[in-house]
Copies of this chain bind each other. A is one copy, B any other.
């Protein structure tokens, strides 16, 4: 089956995120008050051939641990759908 995968890789809480700070300042400058705790990370979408959603998620988790995310500085969230 073809599985659609969405991965979000975000800087870990507590780590400095200069890009997030820049976006937060820019939003405030544009008049959007009320936005806080802005964090900017990577969104990675792809399709995957797998036997099941469970198998796909396990494979994507390994992809994140080995390539897509830096386990020291980043957390990741995986969404799979058929």
Contacts and interface: CB of A to CB of B under 8 A. Distances in A.
Interface residues of A, number: 35
A56 B5 CA distance: 26
Number of copies: 2
Contacts of A45: 8, 10, 37-39, 41
Interface string A2-39: 00001011100000000010011011001011111111
Given A6-B8, A23-B67, A68-B23, A36 B46 contact: yes
Contacts of A32: 59, 62-63
A3 to B, nearest CB: 9
A43 to B, nearest CB: 4
